[in-house]
Amino acid sequence: MPLENPLSLLAEQARTALSTEPSLKGCTLKLTSHARRRHMGLSISDAGRVVTVRTPPGTSSEQVVAFVIHQRPWITANRARISENVAAIPRKELVTGEGFDFIGAPMRLKVTDIPGSVARARLGSGWWLTANSAELSQRGAAPLIDWYADAGATWLHEHAPELWQRIAPQAAMPTLAIERSTRRWGSYHHARHEVRLAWRAFQLPRPLLHYALVHELVHAARPGGRPHGPEFWTLLQRHLPTARRDHGLIRKAGPQVWEGAIRPAP
């Protein structure tokens, strides 16, 4: 008989012990284990319906339970905030005239019968995204997200090398990629030495997009991609003095940025 996965057993023990925990009412508790992690951490996903505890090796179910109970105010407050954000999630109509943004510049959607990929062009006094009506009918927002990902990749490869030379000129530059599925603005993957920005980040004003990129490059420049802490913020503010202000602004911007949700045309 195969042995039960230790992490699965730990998760089941924690769920049983926390079955009446009020902060977890109506959601699923998940556990992950990370060899490099030194302390437990929390994240909330799936519109507040999943709470994940990230644990270092050797964590006991008792420690998980105590950690969750200690974090009860944080879990409760953030699940409530996420629920409010979900209720107010930005939605777009895929019709001519709908508004979009690219690095702070407004655009309008122009739906046409002309075959081809989504393209950005200046028509008259403004910028337009032209998109094929059949593609939008079949794939929904996907063609527009594809455009953001491609245009974002071009911007990322143009701007990241110069910034990296200022931050860590003696170190190997990380590879660069666009993330299509995350709700985070960006991420650094130590094992691959890779910096990613989310496609949706390219709707932000230029200063906040710049902040998101510098933030992840600073992670990449630190030994082992170490997480946030005083040393991280010191290095970040050395290269971006407005980092603390930008951090607050980007958090406020999050709920207003389109993530691909569609509102049916009337």
The answer to whether the CB of 145 falls within 8 A of the CB of 260 is: yes
CA–CA gap between residue 126 and residue 124 (Å, rounded)? 6
* The pLDDT of residue 225: 59
pLDDT at 4 over 50: no
Give the global pTM: 0.69
With pLDDT > 70 as the criterion, what percentage of the chain qualifies? Answer: 94
- Strands across the sheet containing 28-33: 28-33, 50-55, 41-45
DSSP code per residue over 207-265? HHHHHHHHHHHHHHHSGGG--SSHHHHHHHHHH-TTHHHHHHHHHHHGGGS--S-B---
pLDDT at 3 over 60: no
Report the chain's mean pLDDT, rounded to a whole number: 90
* The pLDDT of residue 106: 95
pLDDT at 1 over 70: no
For the stretch 155-180, pLDDT in tens is 999 999 999 999 999 999 999 999 98
For the stretch 211-237, pLDDT in tens is 999 999 999 998 765 667 788 999 999
* The pLDDT of residue 5: 60
pLDDT at 101 over 60: yes
With pLDDT > 90 as the criterion, what percentage of the chain qualifies? Answer: 70
* The pLDDT of residue 265: 66
pLDDT at 2 over 50: no
pLDDT at 15 over 80: yes
Nearest to 198 by CA among 221, 177, 225, 219: 177
Backbone angles phi, psi at 133, to 5 degrees: -65, -40
Dihedral (C-alpha) 200, 255, 182, 33: value to the nearest 10 degrees?
A: 160
87 Cβ neighbours under 8 A, 6+ residues apart: none
Amino acid at 28: T
Residue in the block written with tokens 């939605």: 91
* The pLDDT of residue 35: 86
